[in-house]
Chains A and B, each alone.
Chain A
Amino acid sequence: MDAFADVHGMAQVLLAAFIAGMIGLDRTALGQFMISQPVVAGPLTGWLLGDLTAGLVIGGTLELIWVLDMPIGTFVPADATVAAVSATAIAALTGGPLPAQLPVIGFSLLLTVGMVPVTMFADHLMRQRNAQIPALALSPGGRPTETSATAWHLAGLIAFFLKSFTLCLVLVPAGLVLMSGFLALPGAVHRAMALFATCLPLLGAATVARKLSMKTLDRYLLAGFIVGAVSVQLIHLPPLATVVISVAGGMWGVRTRGA
């Protein structure tokens, strides 16, 4: 609630909404350089709002959970960008010590579950309204000019920006209100949210495994697990070397198994 208490707090919420609007453009309308992926959007938001750690934890956690929710054909997936930006903003603006504590991050991550249907509905509405744009691009003579086609096409960017901006402007204050209620709950609930936050990367791993393999116990997943566990527990390799060895091992696997 501290975020509403002063002009600075409200400016921070507006900044978060602006970040969501700008980064949200990358999701569909502009470039698709993947700046909008949670693993980038979360840390970027956290850095701009003064809590990079919360952004890194939230972005890294949400990334694997939503990475394979794909925009195929006319299907519009859950807006993981707005979810990552809003959750990071809620954690960063809660008003406690920075970086935000794990229970606060865990509860912010839980709030993203409620954000999913809201973001999908907003996306659906906006894309329905966008259907009018091509007709507007036609001049009175029924044919488009370069200027009219360009202007109306690029006007779509404003619609995409406003969608993410408005969503964040609603979701962050709502989340902060819920967060103030959460902070008043007993310590056991806080411990539960800390455990929840740390279990989510495993849910992300399960989500990717489910989508990429037909088998629950995939041989490549198991091989990667063994390489990872042996590298850190028996050979004591640093994380970067372990990842490099895993990629090399995976490449060796696809070559020898003819993938």
Chain B
Amino acid sequence: MAPERTSIRTVDLLGVFWRSFFIQASWSYDQLQSLGFAFAFIPVLRRLYPDREAFSARLASHMEYFNTQPYLASFVLGAAAKAEEEHASGRRTAVEVAELKKTLMAPLGALGDSFFWGSLKPFAAAVAVALLLSGNWWAPLLFLVLYNLVHVGLRLSLVFVGYETAGDAVALLSRYNFTRLARRYKVLSLFLIGCIVGTISLWDAEFRPPVPFSPPLLAAAGLALTLGMTAVLRLGASPAKLMLGLAAVCLALALGGVV
């Protein structure tokens, strides 16, 4: 007799979405997100395996090594939910479910790191800092809104996209061109960084260098200092070392009576 088919419901996927916010709660060097994945997957397993033994066996199998970008893990969770549903009804083996996760996690990790950490976050930060430097106290709130509209929206939709496409990465990329979006956010961030330096004469008093320069001269000096420090960073200096160097230069200028 064929096993009884049980379907995953929307409420189960919403449960996975909620739990995905905790996916890194026990992050470690050895196991990374393994237990987090199993934890987030519990609503699916609960629906598919009412039998306690079967539930426990499948939970254990989902505790195997797993690591990807935490937001794009939503797509893998959705895809794994579809695969697990097929496994529960005998249409897919346990090995195939595990293989699907392994296949998706590395490329999605690279894609997510580049998009979220490497482009969306600096863009939102550049907007917020540009406004903050000119005295807008609400800039941190704007940062949270700009970032989380994309972050939470994608996290929610990706659980369902992963489930509907059964983990089809091509379908994911045709829906969301992360590479192109990342490039655009990076260009916008660079544009904003230039704007931040160009508007230095409008910075609030707490931020504006206490030097008696005219606005055009201050902007030019700001650009020269920024480019100089960029060049030093390009030579291999870390931001922390450059902070120390900058403090030493400021101290020398102050002791020399220049400021």
Chain A residues with CB under 8 Å of chain B are 28-35, 37, 39-40, 43-44, 52-53, 56-57, 59-61, 63-68, 70-74, 78, 102, 105, 109-110, 112-113, 116, 127-131, 133-134, 137-139, 143-146, 149-150, 152-157, 159-160, 188-189, 191-213, 216-218, 220-233, 239-240, 242-243, 246-247, 249-251, 253-254, 259
Contacts and interface: CB of A to CB of B under 8 A. Distances in A.
A250 B229 contact: no
B129 A39 contact: yes
Contact of B246 (A28, A112, A199): A199
Contacts of B227: 206, 216-217
Contacts of B134: 239-240
**Closest 8 interchain pairs by CB?**
A224-B194, A228-B198, A156-B26, A239-B134, A250-B191, A130-B28, A192-B254, A228-B195
B233 interface: yes
Interface core residue of A35, A60, A74, A213 (most chain B CB under 10 Å): A60
B164 to A, nearest CB: 25
B131 A243 contact: yes
Contacts of B42: 146, 149-150
Contact of B113 (A72, A105, A212): A72
Given A57-B207, A134-B31, A34 B147 contact: yes
Interface residues of B, number: 110
B35 A134 contact: yes
Interface in B198-228: 198-199, 201-203, 206-211, 215-216, 219, 222-223, 225-228
Interface core residue of A78, A207, A243 (most chain B CB under 10 Å): A243
Chain B interface secondary structure, helix, strand, loop or mixed? helix
Nearest to A28: B24
B156 to A, nearest CB: 13
Contacts of A37: 121, 125, 143
Contacts of B171: none
Contact of A72 (B117, B131, B202, B208): B117
B117 A71 contact: yes
B58 to A, nearest CB: 10
Contact of B122 (A133, A146, A212, A227): A212
A188 B250 CA distance: 10
Contacts of A259: 183-184, 187
A243 B130 contact: yes
B172 interface: no
B38 A128 contact: no
A254 B247 contact: no
Given A128-B29, A201-B133, A250-B188, A225 B195 contact: yes
Chain A interface secondary structure, helix, strand, loop or mixed? helix
B199 A229 contact: yes
A254 B188 contact: yes
Contacts of A127: 27-29
B144 A198 contact: no
A221 B32 CA distance: 37
Interface stretch (B9-17, B81-89, B234-242): B234-242
B197 A202 contact: yes
B96 to A, nearest CB: 21
B186 A212 contact: yes
Contacts of B144: 33-35, 40
A223 B192 CA distance: 9
A67 B125 contact: yes
A194 to B, nearest CB: 6
A129 B190 CA distance: 40
Contact of B191 (A28, A189, A198, A224): A224
